[in-house]
Structure 1
Amino acid sequence: MTMREALMAAAVGLPLLMLLLCASAPLRRRLPAWFAIAPLPALAAAVCASPSEMLRFGNSRFALRFALDTSGALLLGTAALLWLFAGIFATRVLRDRERIDGFVVCWFMAMTGCVGVFLAADLIGFYLMLAVLSVGASGLVLQGDGPDARYAGALYLGIALLAEAFLLGGLILLAQATPGGSLLIRDAAAALPDSPWRDTTLLLLLIGLAIKAGLVPLHFWMPYAYGAAPTPAAAVLSGAVVKASVIALVRFLPFGNAWPHFGIPLATLGMFGAFYGVAIGITQSQPKIVLAYSSVSQMGFLVAVIGMGLAAGDPATVVAAAYYAAHHLLVKGTLFLAVGVVALTGAGKLRWVQVPTAVIALGLGGLPLTGGALAKYAAKDLLGGDLAGSLAVASSVATTLLMLHFLRCLGAIAVAHSDARAPAPLTGAWLAMVLASLIVPWVLYLNIPIGTLPEALMPAALWSAFWPVLAGAVLAIGWTRWSRAMPSVPAGDVGHLLHGLQRGGVTVARIAVCGDAFVRRWSVSCLTLLLAALLFGALLAVVG
């Protein structure tokens, strides 16, 4: 086994080992100290990634395979950074909680699944890791306080299972169409264009992954889940966990062929979500809910980029989309941690938190010299200069408006005591993520085949990135005056209708329980069987 293979094995094996050790109650109480250590092998594996190497577990009959391509390395490395610093944040938060067992188990379960999804090279391994990830992530949502967390966790798990049902159908059709019985993802994706079930397979995959990505209208689980989950859990859920849909899209879809009849509708739905997330997000007042709608918007834009690449059959989409997702992963994780820091910081000490947070947040809108500007520049060619390109510029304006609204809501949750400070581990973890969000995108841009730095720093490129941010700032000034006259939208928007359906479902369930209890009575059961026998005899007589 080579060093790279050993690192891949440790990347999945260490968090899995921590998860297995949770079976011991005495050990489970000590395992939060390993939150920041468990993702280190994944970070090392991403840095030392080699597309030519594949790790195999098992025999000739059944084996799981793990490998890292460029897109997987981008997402695995940035996810490992987020798991590391969010782990430090979570370790400190758990010191103030009496019951930590559930959080510890679900943290390592979600980490195992997250790392495994980015590394999985075969269909079975991918689906297995995705299932582990979904269960762990829904468990993290349940670690929030009150009935809202229970509802959000149940909703998250239900939506995840619905998405995985569609995915399972698509993966089965993929496996059947792959020659030689190969279960490798790269072989399945290469065989998809010639599959007799090509269109059905693509449709099932796109529906399942669109749900996983939080695409409108099945996006409502995001505000519920991210709003209810504890802050460090929300950071990894919004940053790393949701990117499982991105790695699946860029690995399973056949970008070597043009598929406009699938790509254009996908891009249209994604771009609609990009604006819808902003339109609802600016009506919210809780910072975590605003960030959740920002994720709806950003994932919509990312899916639009992937859709346009699929429509054009452009292989460059794979790395460009992964780079955009990696930047969003870092930024969104940082912003959620900022919410946790500000909630413990006094108004007198707030400015030193708000300034770097503002730079990171505006980076999502494409603020020049930030990773967001590089990410949008990398996606520019995929969207083109026609309608899609114009909508992308408008999306930058809208994102800036939403992020400035978030900053205003963030300042409102500071504690009353002006000199209050957040604990040093929380502040240190957040600052480390700030630096990662500012530096890592530049390092990645210089080391992957996505573009040249001189082109990205040309005056025309800087101006094209700056003026949408400026326009968004002007709109934000106007919004502070108009927002009071706008109607209030409940968090979850269309998902709020589910509460009415839930009440109806409870009524139906009660009727069914009463009916079942009535039918189970001895006299009723005997009479029912007698009537059934008489009916059956009458039918035989008529047939005869």
Structure 2
Amino acid sequence: MTAALLLLVPMLPLLLAVLVVLPGAERARSLVPWAVLPGFLAVVWLPEGAQAVYPWLMLGLELQLDATGRAFLLLTALLWGGAGLYALEYLRGDAHASRFHLFFLLAMSGNLGLVLAADAVGFYVFFALMSLASYGLVIHAGGAEVRRAGRIYLILAVLGEVALFAGLAMQVAAAGGLHFTQLAGAPLSPLSAALLVIGFGIKAGLVPLHVWLPLAHPAAPTPASAVLSGVMIKAGLLGWLRLLQLDGPGWPELGTLLLVLGIAGALLAAAAGVLQRRPKTILAYSSISQMGLMVSGVGLALLLPDHAEVLLAGVLVYALHHGLAKGALFLGVGVAERGRRPWVMAVLAVPALALAGLPWTSGALAKNALKAPLYEAPAPWAGTVETLLTVAAVGTTLLMARFLWRMWFVADRSEGVPGWRMGLPWLAMSAGAVVLPVFWPGDTGPGWSLIWPLGLGVILSVTLVRMLPSRRLPQLAEGDLVVPVERLVLVLIRVMSRSDLLWRGYGEELTRARFRLNWRRLRRRIAALEAGLSRWESLGIVFLALVVALYVSLLP
């Protein structure tokens, strides 16, 4: 029973993915929200430590449900199920709804599978399935801007997969086995550590590997944005929790790196998000900032191994809190597009204030859980990190104020009312910001360390509005660092195509052959290929064929 249920968690979405591309797929699409049911059953019924081995699949796939996996599986099932129900109405009338649900289910399968995977091969296959299938979600709407976002996402996703594969391979070689307990106990070389930081950091939006997030979130349909930000980016966080020996002797160098990058992301992303205009872009930068706080918690656990258990519990609470709140905010953007009633804005304010750390919400619970170990930590970590986290809290308040301000002016002013399929998951996730502290006891009271950053953020927000009556702030390009990189690449291409100096000395024939290359024609061909792959008939079949081929190749 345990083995069948664990395997059904990632396999049911795969089976439905086949059905939604068949003729008359309307009935199959209505089952998409139910694809997470085995995940919920596993969370409720299976005991901690439940595991199963499948020798006939993926070189001996191992699935396991431990305490960390249970928390992540609950969050993953909640958000994918809610977003799946939401998508049924959001995409009503969309001619390409079957294509969306195909990639939605494939990404769902990968996300659910990597949470349960207990071995390197299974984790990598599910991680790759989720990452590559998400490309189909990002480019669903089509258009030049969307294709650019998809192109950048795909480049970084492939780079991350290569780095992750190399890092995992090095760890497997060092450990002499595939199970995560063996990998976590194996020595971690500087090169494998760097590869794992890159591989997981791209997915987690770690600065400076974050540039795909502010582009992909506005491009993707709203239900896809909710799962991208709410759960998929946490796959990188889960990877670090699985592979790093956080309860061991500690690793100050790696811990310092993750702490610095995490805090830098929390602060810089908040500043960049305030300078955005589109609500979904603001939320994307907010996710980068919040993930930075979680990554800093992992870094502190490596620096302070005596406090690792408490810190990791705080990271788990923060992941649950952020997933529910951010999912509610993204779904709320789509609800507001159907009608800007005052109650819509009022409900949107609940998860926004929770992210800012309002007392008696999940935000207060998460922030206190992450800060609690710092009071017992030695200098200089206690004072320095607490101060930086407090500054980040002010930045989060500014971000949420900016988001609500922009939502008020860009939301549809009609009196339309969204249907229950959109409203129910949105309201449920919004309620999670209040309900989570009931099921996860902890300190949520109005401590001074929570109140004054929130109050200062509100004061700064009001001051900015009064100083800028035209409601305009300086604007930062979406994707920030990717813009100068794109310009540099274009300059290099032009230089290479116009200059013969690079090829001088290689022979006249080689020179002629190089200059015969027409860069403009090449770009047109690439665009045509990308447009062709964007059709679900071709890309969907190719993707399913790759999944089948990968499965066959891993059979013993």
| Distance of aligned partners of 1:143 and 1:383 in 2 relative to their CA distance in 1, 3 Å threshold | farther
Does the CA contact (< 8 Å) of 1:308 and 1:383 recur in 2? no
| Distance of aligned partners of 1:157 and 1:462 in 2 relative to their CA distance in 1, 3 Å threshold | same
| Distance of aligned partners of 1:101 and 1:501 in 2 relative to their CA distance in 1, 3 Å threshold | farther
Stretches of 4+ moved more than 6 A in 1?
508-514
Query: Do residues 462 (structure 1) and 447 (structure 2) align?
Result: yes
Partner of residue 271 from structure 2, selected from 279, 295, 298: 279
The aligned counterpart of 2:486 is: 499
The aligned counterpart of 2:430 is: 434
The aligned counterpart of 1:341 is: 335
Does the CA contact (< 8 Å) of 1:345 and 1:415 recur in 2? yes
Partner of residue 74 from structure 1, selected from 71, 74, 97: 71
Partner of residue 324 from structure 1, selected from 315, 318, 336: 318
The aligned counterpart of 1:238 is: 229
Query: Do residues 219 (structure 1) and 210 (structure 2) align?
Result: yes
Give the deviation of 1:355 after TM superposition. 1.5
Query: Do residues 472 (structure 1) and 482 (structure 2) align?
Result: no
Partner of residue 371 from structure 1, selected from 348, 351, 362: 362
| Distance of aligned partners of 1:267 and 1:482 in 2 relative to their CA distance in 1, 3 Å threshold | farther
| Distance of aligned partners of 1:263 and 1:29 in 2 relative to their CA distance in 1, 3 Å threshold | same
Query: Do residues 399 (structure 1) and 396 (structure 2) align?
Result: yes
The aligned counterpart of 1:525 is: none
Give the deviation of 1:164 after TM superposition. 1.8
Write the distance in 2 (CA, Å) between the matches of 1:505 and 1:91: 45
The aligned counterpart of 2:242 is: 251
Partner of residue 103 from structure 1, selected from 91, 100, 110: 100
Query: Do residues 9 (structure 1) and 7 (structure 2) align?
Result: yes
The aligned counterpart of 1:450 is: none
Letter in 1 for 2:298: I
Give the deviation of 1:265 after TM superposition. 2.0
The aligned counterpart of 1:132 is: 129
Structure 1: gaps of 5 or more residues: 447-452, 520-544
Does the CA contact (< 8 Å) of 1:8 and 1:55 recur in 2? yes
Give the deviation of 1:186 after TM superposition. 1.6
Letter in 1 for 2:348: T
Write the distance in 1 (CA, Å) between the matches of 2:198 and 2:484: 22
The aligned counterpart of 2:192 is: 201
How big is each residue's C-alpha offset from its partner over 1:207-261, in whole Å with a ceiling of 9 and x where there is no partner? Answer: 2212221111221110100010011111111111111011111111111222111
Write the distance in 2 (CA, Å) between the matches of 1:494 and 1:77: 34
Does the CA contact (< 8 Å) of 1:141 and 1:229 recur in 2? yes
Write the distance in 2 (CA, Å) between the matches of 1:208 and 1:61: 21
Return the index of the structure with the highest Cα Rg: 1
Does the CA contact (< 8 Å) of 2:360 and 2:434 recur in 1? no
Partner of residue 354 from structure 1, selected from 309, 321, 345: 345
Give the deviation of 1:482 after TM superposition. 4.2
Give the deviation of 1:513 after TM superposition. 12
Q: 1:36 aligns to what SS in structure 2?
A: helix
How big is each residue's C-alpha offset from its partner over 1:63-90, in whole Å with a ceiling of 9 and x where there is no partner? Answer: 0011111111111101211111111110
The aligned counterpart of 1:532 is: none
| Distance of aligned partners of 1:514 and 1:156 in 2 relative to their CA distance in 1, 3 Å threshold | farther
- Is 230-239 or 35-44 further displaced after alignment? 35-44
How big is each residue's C-alpha offset from its partner over 1:1-43, in whole Å with a ceiling of 9 and x where there is no partner? Answer: 33xx333222112111112334x52154443212210011112
Does the CA contact (< 8 Å) of 2:17 and 2:105 recur in 1? yes
Query: Do residues 487 (structure 1) and 474 (structure 2) align?
Result: yes
Structure 2: gaps of 5 or more residues: 376-381, 499-509, 518-556
Letter in 1 for 2:323: L
Does the CA contact (< 8 Å) of 1:159 and 1:211 recur in 2? yes
Write the distance in 2 (CA, Å) between the matches of 1:31 and 1:280: 41
The aligned counterpart of 1:142 is: 139
Query: What are the equivalent positions in structure 2 for 1:179-198 lying under 5 Å apart?
Result: 181-191=176-186, 195=187, 198=189
The Cα RMSD (Å) is: 2.4
Does the CA contact (< 8 Å) of 1:49 and 1:69 recur in 2? no
Q: 1:37 aligns to what SS in structure 2?
A: helix
Write the distance in 2 (CA, Å) between the matches of 1:415 and 1:89: 18
Letter in 2 for 1:515: A
Does the CA contact (< 8 Å) of 2:311 and 2:369 recur in 1? no
Does the CA contact (< 8 Å) of 1:334 and 1:437 recur in 2? no
Query: What are the equivalent positions in structure 2 for 1:513-528 lying under 5 Å apart?
Result: 515=513, 518=516
TM-score normalised by L of structure 1: 0.86
TM-score normalised by L of structure 2: 0.84
Q: 2:34 aligns to what SS in structure 1?
A: coil
| Distance of aligned partners of 1:470 and 1:223 in 2 relative to their CA distance in 1, 3 Å threshold | same
| Distance of aligned partners of 1:312 and 1:93 in 2 relative to their CA distance in 1, 3 Å threshold | same
Does the CA contact (< 8 Å) of 1:243 and 1:325 recur in 2? yes
Does the CA contact (< 8 Å) of 1:247 and 1:322 recur in 2? no
Write the distance in 2 (CA, Å) between the matches of 1:218 and 1:282: 20
How big is each residue's C-alpha offset from its partner over 1:461-507, in whole Å with a ceiling of 9 and x where there is no partner? Answer: 63332222111111111122345675321111111224324534665
Give the deviation of 1:412 after TM superposition. 1.1
Does the CA contact (< 8 Å) of 1:152 and 1:228 recur in 2? yes
